[in-house]
């Protein structure tokens, strides 16, 4: 036997890295820089192929994830927090912006209204309400 497998090669992120009020029960709640660093280290140790970030991350947590992923040489991708511009995400090394999530306020004729909705979504403790608001914005 050659050891070859039939089927696709799968790349997996592991749990989504989210903010204090995660949308999904399988996400990791990241509240600050220290938790961001621990999460990146844990996922690297668990052999994740890449990291997936989500929009409710605080700016500080996102920046720490970006820095730690660069140091660990693991790519990160996903959504972008509303405190980070698309250009900044790219400059920090984010490989892709999934579903173009987080881009809308930078393309809209009503960015202030969208930013208000994003703030409400980020503060919502009920994940269903938060998801609905984020879907409306995007």
Residues near 69 by Cβ (< 8 Å), separated by ≥ 6? 40, 51, 75, 76, 93
Residues 9-19 have pLDDT tens digits of: 889 998 999 99
Asked if the model's pLDDT at residue 1 lies above 80, the reply is no
Q: Check: CB of residue 13 under 8 Å from CB of residue 51.
A: yes
What is the CATH superfamily name and number for domain 17-101?
Answer: Amidohydrolase (3.40.50.10910)
Q: What distance in Å separates the CA atoms of residue 70 and residue 57, rounded to the nearest whole number?
A: 18
The pTM of the full predicted model, rounded to 2 decimals, is 0.82
pLDDT digit string (tens) for 19-41? 988 888 999 999 999 999 999 99
pLDDT on residue 59: 96
Average pLDDT, the chain: 91
């Amino acid at each position: 036997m050659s050891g070859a497998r039939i089927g696709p090669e799968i790349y997996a992120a592991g749990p989504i890295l989210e903010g204090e009020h995660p949308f999904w029960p399988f996400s990791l709640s990241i509240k600050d820089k220290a938790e961001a660093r621990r999460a990146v280290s844990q996922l690297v140790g668990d052999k994740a192929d890449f990291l997936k970030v989500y929009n409710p991350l605080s700016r500080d947590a996102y920046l720490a994830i970006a820095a730690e992923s660069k140091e660990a040489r693991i790519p990160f991708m996903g959504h972008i927090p509303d405190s980070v511009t698309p250009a900044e995400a790219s400059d920090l090394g984010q490989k892709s912006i999934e579903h173009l999530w987080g881009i809308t306020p930078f393309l809209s004729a009503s960015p202030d209204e969208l930013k208000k909705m994003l703030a409400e979504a980020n503060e919502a403790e009920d994940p269903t309400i938060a998801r609905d608001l984020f879907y409306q914005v995007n």
